[in-house]
Amino acid sequence: MTDLDSPGPVFGASLESQLESPDYPCVPVLLQAIVIALEIHGLNLPGLYRKPGRHRTIAQFVSSVNLHPEDIDLMFSLDAWREPNALCGLFKHFLRRLPVGLFSLCECDYLNFFFVELN
Q: How many CB atoms lie within 10 A of CB 40?
A: 9
32 torsion bin: left (phi>0), alpha (psi -120 to 50), beta (else): alpha
Kindly state the average pLDDT of the residues 92-106. Answer: 85
pLDDT of 96 above 60 = yes
4-31: per-residue pLDDT in tens? 777 789 999 999 999 899 999 889 999 9
* pLDDT at residue 1, rounded to an integer: 44
* pLDDT at residue 105, rounded to an integer: 67
Kindly state the average pLDDT of the residues 51-73. Answer: 93
Q: How far apart are the first and last CA of the chain?
A: 41
pLDDT of 39 above 90 = yes
* pLDDT at residue 34, rounded to an integer: 95
